[in-house]
Structure 1
Amino acid sequence: MADDEIDYNIVFPDAVTSERHWQGTKEPVVVLLGWAGCKDKHLSKYSSIYNEQGCVTIRYTAQLKSVFISESFGFKELSGTALKLLEVLYDYEVENSPVFFHIFSNGGFMLYRYVVELLHSDKQFSSLRVIGAVVDSAPGSANVRGALRALTATLGPRVNPVLWCVLTALFAVTVFLLRVVLYPITKYVHRNHYDAMADHPPPWPQLYLYSGADRVIRHKDVEDMVGTLRRHGVPVESVDFASSAHVSHFRDFPVQYTQRCRDFLVACMASGEESQGRSRRLVQAQ
């Protein structure tokens, strides 16, 4: 692929399935942002939740170097990726459809942060109609131990032990210095994803799926974010699966997980249609 392209997958539903679920309205476009190191075959299992619901789905996972290196050193490389991802909606002429996000772990949430910032500030995307978002196993805040566990899981057992020690040591020192010790200073140059989203959250409804047993993302970080969103007046729901590991809620509770996601999407679509109807009535009355 060319340097200015991103490696994504898009799936369109068949017309019969779409009509059965959405009955004449534009089917939603669901954008799935994978966790660091996520393989597309794994992300496709989640996209099937929405494909079977008659949705268009776009799958994308940010590169490891962007998540673990660029973000750790304060480089906003993912901002450019977010721009290219939103442009995909225009490339396939689905920019007038309702847009729904499904985000996984800090790897997906870091990219989502820049998507939200573009939706807040860039006139090119002001017409996009985001109706909601599901956040799975995120976000975490200043958790060096959890970040190391995520990096270890991503690198896998095949990495040379010496290389593993060097990489994890460098990563731990960098994250601890820049994101913990020096963060009171470095935040003026580059705020972390957690604080940026807590200060300027998106207004659309959100569903947070997490677990008290997660050893990568602390459940308290998720619960604090949910509380912050509520104080901002953002409609937010949360589900603690209690026993499932990091990004394993779907694997351990497939029926409950699928139903939660689908019910939330349907509720967001209904709310979006109601809001759009109110806007049309206001315009007609003027």
Structure 2
Amino acid sequence: MADDEIDYNIVFPDAGTSERHWQDTKEPVVILLGWAGCKDKHLNKYSSIYNEQGCVTIRYTAPLKTVFISESFGYRELRSTALKLLEILYDYEVENSPIFFHIFSNGGFMLYRYIVELLHSDKQFRSLCVIGAVVDSAPGSGNVRGALRALRATLGPKISPFLRYFLLGLFAVTIFLLRVVLYPLTKYIHKNHYDAVRESPPTWPHFCLYSRADEVIRHRDIKVFVETLKQKGVPVDSVDFVSSAHVSHFRDFPHQYAVECRKFLVSCMKDLEPTEMKKRNRVHNQ
């Protein structure tokens, strides 16, 4: 459905499906954060993985201008979006359910970064019970070539060649200056998503899905991220799909992808004790 300020979709499972999978436990709420330029019909295919498992799903994709322009210039527009997304849980009275994230590419991870910060710092949101996060084709850092490929794919073929090359050139110069050359200084004003989550990661388990064939997000960036989480005591696992392109793992390996996601969700739920649900999953500043 649509809110007055942000567009999102929420789906509730039928009671029979939910009871069959989760019995006396509250069904998880899965928040899916789409990649830049992602259409809801594409994100819906991923949410069906969880709807068939008896989960509530919330789908949201941040606008292109927010991902490619606001974040590039250090404007924290996505923080207010993150706040509104978390408030949706209270609007639908599912704030006491287990919360699970499924994040796609840097576009989704940029928003996830602000959600994590709110869960660290906001008194209201610290009580939410987050049980885990799947991270698909993210996060990446300082890859100008990959960012240009993502923007080119997002712009599509309908835009005029002149405008396309103008936007790509402007974006390349901006990213290179602010996020590479001047980043040792600008990071004190606005740290990028990659460094922010690495330095102060959430405590819940993560499951990173990537491919060494990805030409947008370097697989070595994801490996460094995984190792950082491990060093900080965050439970984390990963799967390399080897041959699939950026955010195409589900398209190329639909059965394996769905099985891996559901298996991870179930493993996160297995350790959940109803009487200590909030206590065990509360985020602490590190």
Instruction: Provide TM-score, normalisation by structure 1.
Output: 0.95
Instruction: Name the CA distance, whole Å, in 2 between partners of 1:229 and 1:183.
Output: 23
**2:224 matched to 1:224?**
yes
What is the one-letter code of the residue matched to 1:200? S
In 1, are the aligned partners of 2:11 and 2:57 still within 8 Å (CA)? yes
Partner of 1:115: 115
2:255 aligns with: 255
Cα distance in structure 1, aligned partners of 2:272 and 2:149: 38
The equivalent of 1:31 in structure 2 is 31
How far is the alpha carbon of 1:276 from its aligned partner? Answer: 2.3
> Deviation of residue 272 (structure 1)?
2.5
Structure 2 residue aligned with 1:168: 168
Number of the residue aligned with 1:276: 276
What amino acid maps onto 2:16 in structure 1? Answer: V
| Residue 243 (structure 2) aligns with | 243
Q: Secondary structure at the match of 1:58?
A: strand
Match of 2:198 in 1: 198
- Displacement of 1:124: 1.5
CA distance in 2, matches of 1:224, 1:10: 33
| CA distance 1:259–1:178, shift in 2 (3 Å) | same
How many residues are matched? Answer: 280
SS in structure 2 of the partner of residue 17 of structure 1: helix
Matches of 2:149 and 2:95 in 1, distance apart? Answer: 38
> What is the Cα deviation at residue 149 of structure 1?
0.1
Query: What is the deviation of 1:278?
Result: 11
Deviations 1:87-145 (A, max 9, x none): 00000000000000000000000000000000000011121000000000000000000
Q: 1:155 & 1:277 partners in 2: Cα distance?
A: 43
Q: In the alignment, is the contact (CA less than 8 A) between 2:43 and 2:59 conserved in 1?
A: yes
CA distance in 2, matches of 1:122, 1:278: 15
Per-residue CA shift, 1:191-232, capped at 9, x if unaligned?
000000000001000000000000000000000000000000
2: CA distance, partners of 1:135 / 1:278: 23
Residue identity in the other structure for 2:33:
L
Give the structure 2 partner of residue 97 of structure 1.
97
One-letter amino acid matched to 2:148: L
- Cα deviation for residue 2 of structure 1 reads 9.5
Alignment match, 2:283: none
Corresponding residue number in structure 2 for 1:62: 62
Identify the residue that residue 182 of structure 2 maps to in structure 1.
182
State the distance in 1 between where 2:133 and 2:71 align: 22
Distance 1:278 1:108 in 2: 25
SS in 1 for 2:57: strand
Letter in 2 for 1:23: Q
Q: Answer yes or no: is 1:48 the counterpart of 2:48.
A: yes
Distance 1:165 1:82 in 2: 32
Question: Could you say if the C-alpha distance between residues 3 and 18 of structure 1 is closer, same or farther in structure 2, counting changes exceeding 3 Å?
Answer: closer
Q: Which runs of 4+ in 1 moved over 2 A?
A: 1-4, 272-280
Write out per-residue CA displacement over residues 52-72 of structure 1, whole angstroms, 9 at most, x where no aligned residue.
000000000000000000000
Query: C-alpha separation between the residues in 1 aligned to 2:9 and 2:122?
Result: 24
Q: How far 1:274 sits from its partner (Å)?
A: 7.6
Whole-Å Cα distance in 2 between the matches of residues 182 and 277 of structure 1?
A: 43
- For 1:247, what is the secondary structure of its paired residue? coil
Structure 1 unaligned residues grouped into runs of 5+: 281-286
Does residue 8 of the first structure (1) align with residue 8 of the second (2)?
Answer: yes
TM score, norm. by length of structure 2: 0.95
Distance 1:279 1:127, change over 3 A: closer
Amino acid at match of 1:194: Y
CA 1:278–1:41: 2 relative to 1, 3 Å: closer
Residue 145 of structure 2 aligns with an amino acid whose one-letter code is R
| Counterpart-to-counterpart distance in 2, 1:205 and 1:38 | 25
